[in-house]
Structure 1
Amino acid sequence: MKDKKELVYDLAGTLAAILFGCVVVIFIIVNIPGTTEIDGSLIANVLVGGVTLFAPLAAYHLLTDWKVQHNTSIEKEYLKEIFDELRKYNRKVFKYVDKANDFILHENNFGTGNLFKIDKTDLKDYQDSYNHLLTILGEYKILSKDKNIVVYANNYDNLARNTYAIFEGINNIKIEFKRNIYGEIEETEEEIKQKKKSALKDFLMKKQSLTLSGETKDYTYWLILDKFKDQHNKFYTYLIEKKLIK
């Protein structure tokens, strides 16, 4: 999108080029062998022709600038919606990604990982948010015509869906306990806790094939969560630096 000063310069440059062309045409006519005097009406016709040529060119410049401004306005509306949804993830999603990472780190190294569950309200909000976000991104990657946006959007789609499935899986982990004939659990609280931690660890260490940026690899569940957060931060930064600050 051009500012008014640039647009005026473009129009002035176009007009100057046309007038120069008119002068050249008149000069050629005047220097045709046998020409003894300048026909005023001929010169007028040349100038009128030049002005006639300038009119559609000026309209083209103005229309092009309007289209750019219009597209920029639409793009900013999309970006606002995208940022609104991305910001929600910081509150609703990544606290659980951090909990998963902390659990694996402490459980693998010290056996002191903290158990956690995904709040059902947060999970529902996340589902609504990423469904809306992926719809917007699907439209925006076409509008932006930016190859990096396409890659980010496709990766985001893949990671967001898998993250939701992993969160659901965490809440649905099934554990078998020893029970007496009355159905009561016979194990101690510590044994129950250790079984839950072992089940959560086994779940987060499961592997799944995932395609990111055109490359397919096997990732553990906790690494998928970590990559989702990392991709989110990179995407967020890219949008700010390349789309908002320009």
Structure 2
Amino acid sequence: MFTHVAGYRFVEIDDPDTLVGILHARADALALRGTILVAREGLNLFLAGAPASVDAFLRELRDDVRFAGLPVHVTGAETLPYARLKVCHKREIITFRDDDTSPLHRRAPGVTPAALARWIAQGCDDGGRRVVLLDTRNREEVAHGTFAGAVTLPIDRFTELPTAIDALRDGLRDATVVSFCTGGIRCEKAALWMGDHGIGDVVQLEGGILGYFAQVGGYGYEGECFVFDGRVALAPPATD
């Protein structure tokens, strides 16, 4: 078995090229495979390898004050889900192309997986307000599974989200809108953008679908969750 980790952090990085070199050398020395994206707005990583090697990489990464306590989603893989290692300097760690929507110094309110499961069970949020689950992923990802009754978007790229959301604006009024995605990173920008553009009372699902699976299981979710590696999609863990 191999260990797979995925995580991100929005944090100011003044020296992305230098960090790319450091991270590539360390991950390569540990025989890790996957992708690390570095931008001035932060870090986004998907890595897999021997459990001890993954642990060693994360320990060293978290020694950097910018990434102290970096949360990651941890799953298992029977084979390495990546063919090679790629560490790149990008303009954004998740492409949205809206410089005004930055989670560097602010973020939208969040809802924990446990609280969302409670809202799903009772059919409203804790204040009695109707809940709209909004899937911010693209149609290929949604085809593998999503929350029951979720609003999905006819998009192929995350950059198309603003136009798609504008078309749904009336249906999001007077609701608590829960923005969700695979691991949380798109939820961050989507929820901020919606809040800035007067669309509902928006919260983001903390940790995304993978965080929900880890803490709650598959309650209220139908199908699997698409992931960006050779495993294609992950099923929610079995519950008693």
- Scaled to the shorter chain, the TM-score interval is under 0.3
Whichever structure has more helix as a proportion of its residues is: 1
TM-score (norm 1): 0.20
Whichever structure has more strand as a proportion of its residues is: 2
In our comparison, the structure showing a higher alpha carbon Rg is 1
